[in-house]
């Protein structure tokens, strides 16, 4: 079969008048068959420089050089699509009669896509040379994810997580946890816990421990309170109830009335001092059990003996003595022996 139009001209059927009708129909049919085949080959292989005229080429150039705007609709199904292609970029919009809408935009500096519905829910994604971000907003609750060259973050409602080159953090409401090179911190309201390679710090308005707590190798530091094994070292140790306060301070144990809500007067205490008057009954160096502010002192046993011993010394009783409902053994009647001066021999 010829493959150029010149062959069509050469093989155009010619008749000299002596051909039969059937012969003429056959020759014309053969020519038409060749013409259809050559036309199909030409249309499948259009070329600007060989088989297309300049006018058609100019129209196609004008169409390609200008914006391309397409719009398709299916009214029966309530669907529509618009496509816009310009030198600025590409815009694609697809919607339906239920107000669902999808948009896709391409520009030189990035890509943006979004999807919305009639309820106001939406999601969108953005991508550029610096990273990627994704957002979801559904019925008042929002989430987002962002990824860049030096950071990644995820936000879901009031919670968030972020990760960078040298730090990670997690936030949940009023709580926050951070982790960096050599340091971890946990914050909950006004309380915090910080851990480093060689130290730990716990800050809180109140601490509660339940079970067995063991401290090992705890050392005293200046005036801070320290627990070391079974020893508590501090400037002041307090035990306070609603009515009484017991303080251990500067070698003295003191008892106060009133307690925590209303600190009162000194009721008494126990201490070692060197403030005695050096008399026979009041040595300078002494372990001193005392009361104050009219507070009575009671020493009592139940079902057992009580002894007061002074080996190598004397027991001094000063002031008024009274025995009630008791049997006194070893004291002469009617008065007890009073020792004035053990060194001088006067009794």
Of 150, 104, 107, residue with least CA distance to 130: 150
- Whether residue 194 contacts residue 201, with contact meaning beta carbons closer than 8 Å, is answered with yes
Name which of 67-76, 214-223, 232-241 the model is least confident about: 214-223
The Cβ of residue 269 has, within 10 Å, a number of other Cβ atoms equal to 19
Residue 3 has pLDDT above 50, yes or no: no
Of 154, 148, 149, 109, residue with least CA distance to 132: 148
Residue 322 has pLDDT above 70, yes or no: yes
Q: Which long-range contacts (CB under 8 A, 24 or more apart) does 50-59 make?
A: none
Of 343, 282, 345, residue with least CA distance to 317: 282
Name which of 44-58, 81-95, 216-230, 246-260 the model is least confident about: 216-230
Residue 221 has pLDDT above 60, yes or no: no
- Whether residue 223 contacts residue 235, with contact meaning beta carbons closer than 8 Å, is answered with yes
pTM listed for this prediction: 0.49
Q: What is the mean pLDDT of the chain?
A: 81
- pLDDT on residue 130: 92
pLDDT tens, position by position, 148-187: 988 999 999 889 999 998 899 999 988 999 999 889 999 9
pLDDT tens, position by position, 38-78: 887 777 777 766 667 778 777 777 766 778 888 999 989 99
- Whether residue 115 contacts residue 101, with contact meaning beta carbons closer than 8 Å, is answered with yes
Residue 238 has pLDDT above 70, yes or no: no
The distance of Cα 155 from the centroid of its chain, to the nearest Å, equals 11
Confidence grade of residue 1 (pLDDT, cut at 50, 70, 90): very low
- Whether residue 257 contacts residue 264, with contact meaning beta carbons closer than 8 Å, is answered with yes
């Amino acid at each position: 079969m010829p493959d150029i139009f010149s062959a069509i001209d050469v093989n155009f059927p010619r008749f000299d008048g002596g051909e039969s009708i059937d012969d003429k129909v056959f020759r014309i049919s053969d020519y038409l068959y060749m013409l259809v085949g050559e036309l199909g080959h030409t249309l499948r292989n259009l070329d600007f420089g060989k088989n297309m005229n300049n006018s058609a080429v100019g129209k196609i150039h004008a169409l390609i050089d200008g914006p391309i705007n397409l719009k398709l609709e299916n009214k029966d199904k309530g669907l529509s699509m618009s496509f816009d292609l310009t030198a600025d970029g590409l815009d694609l919009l697809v919607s339906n009669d239920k107000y669902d809408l999808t948009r896709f935009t391409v520009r030189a500096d990035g890509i943006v896509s979004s999807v919305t519905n009639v309820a106001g829910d939406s999601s969108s994604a953005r991508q550029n040379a610096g990273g990627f971000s994704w957002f979801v907003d559904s019925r008042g609750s929002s989430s987002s994810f962002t990824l860049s060259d030096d950071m990644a973050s995820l936000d879901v409602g009031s919670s968030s997580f972020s990760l960078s080159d040298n730090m990670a953090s997690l936030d949940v409401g009023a709580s926050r946890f951070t982790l960096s090179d050599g340091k971890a911190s946990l914050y909950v309201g006004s309380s915090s816990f910080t851990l480093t390679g060689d130290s730990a710090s716990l800050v809180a308005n109140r601490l509660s421990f339940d079970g067995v707590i063991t401290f090992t190798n705890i050392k005293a530091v200046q005036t801070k309170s320290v627990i070391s094994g079974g020893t508590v070292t501090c400037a002041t140790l307090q035990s306070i109830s609603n009515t009484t306060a017991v303080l251990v301070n500067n070698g003295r144990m003191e008892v106060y009335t009133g307690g925590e809500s209303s600190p009162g007067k000194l009721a008494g205490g126990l201490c070692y001092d060197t403030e005695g008057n050096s008399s026979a009954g009041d040595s300078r160096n002494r372990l001193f059990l005392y009361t104050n502010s009219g507070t009575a002192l009671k020493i009592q046993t139940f079902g057992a003996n009580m002894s007061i011993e002074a080996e190598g010394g004397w027991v001094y009783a000063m002031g008024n003595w009274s025995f009630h409902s008791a049997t006194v053994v070893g004291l002469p009647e009617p008065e007890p022996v009073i020792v004035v001066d053990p060194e001088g021999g006067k009794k």
